Amino acid sequence: MQHRLSRQHVVDMCRTMLARGYLKATEGNVSVRVPGHRLYAVTPSNYDYDRMRVEDICIVDFDGKHLPDDSGADLKPSIECGMHANIYRERPDVNAIVHTHQPYASALAFLRKPIPALTDEQVRFLGREVAIIDYAPSGTSFLARNVQKKVASGDNAFIIANHGVVAVGTDPDRAVFNMALLEKVSIAYLLALTSEAGKVYTIPTAIREIAFGKLRADEKRIAAQITEAVEPLRVPADEEPPSADAAAAQVTAADADRPHHTDADQQPGPRPPGSGTRSASTPTSTT
């Protein structure tokens, strides 16, 4: 079995969050970057966390392609592979990702209400704010693109509108910590909104920027270590989400352009010019 340690990290994260009540049944997904490769280990689709074994964890590349091996599990990776791939490509400092539907942060997802800088601890680990990621259907390239746009901010926790949350970290323990901190902050913010709506105070801007500066310094240090081993692949801002219809049309066009030999082609004479080499465009995310 390849990349066993990365797979074990995923299983350990799942067991920790399952024991703490952050994961239920098959909802959400978890991944860990494979060191030194453009790969990550991710939970399988629609598979109970309570039954999950190391060999059940899938290996996927940064283009969202599943790379099955001889583990024997033969399970399909999470439908949110595109989201995970885009985060790893955009943020070389991120080595682990958690996506959950935890209740209190999800309540803010239904309100589409971002969490401002309430404490210096929150900013130090989660970022300037917990932003709302625009809604898109689950498992689509549109959701993957929306997430990619937000994570570029350097923040480490996000609320997906009408869906759930994404928390990232420099290592598996930090990703789980950030997810738990997000839930704690969400509870406090919801209580404050309920008690004194419109009167929730934030920390001073200067303190916020100092705490965020420390977070960004950590991220840049980790990113530098990662990029020395593997150069990051970033998603172009103007690139369109991949389309199955477009891919099919490309294949049809290639077939139409392929020369069809006839008896006349076998006669002596000058050969027709070559059609050239066509380069395939690789999509940045898959669903």
- pLDDT, tens digit, 9 for 90 and up, residues 74-89: 899 999 999 999 999 9
Pick the closest to residue 279 from 258, 250, 255 (CA basis): 250
Confidence of residue 207 (pLDDT cuts 50, 70, 90): very high
Active site residues: 80
pLDDT at 249: 59
41: exposed, middle or buried (Cβ count in 10 Å: 0-12, 13-18, 19+): buried
Per-residue pLDDT tens over the stretch 165-185? 999 999 999 999 999 999 999
- What is the CB neighbour count within 10 angstroms for residue 262? 8
Per-residue pLDDT of 1-40, as tens digits, reads: 789 999 999 999 999 999 998 988 888 999 999 998 999 9
Q: Tell me phi and psi for residue 165, to 5 degrees.
A: -135, 160
DSSP annotation of 156: S
Average of per-residue pLDDT across 91-106: 96
Q: Is the pLDDT of residue 51 over 70?
A: yes
SS3 208: helix
| pLDDT for position 24 | 83
Question: pTM for this one?
Answer: 0.76
Element (H, E) at 41: strand 39-42
pLDDT tens column, 238-282: 444 444 455 455 656 666 665 555 444 444 444 444 444 443 333
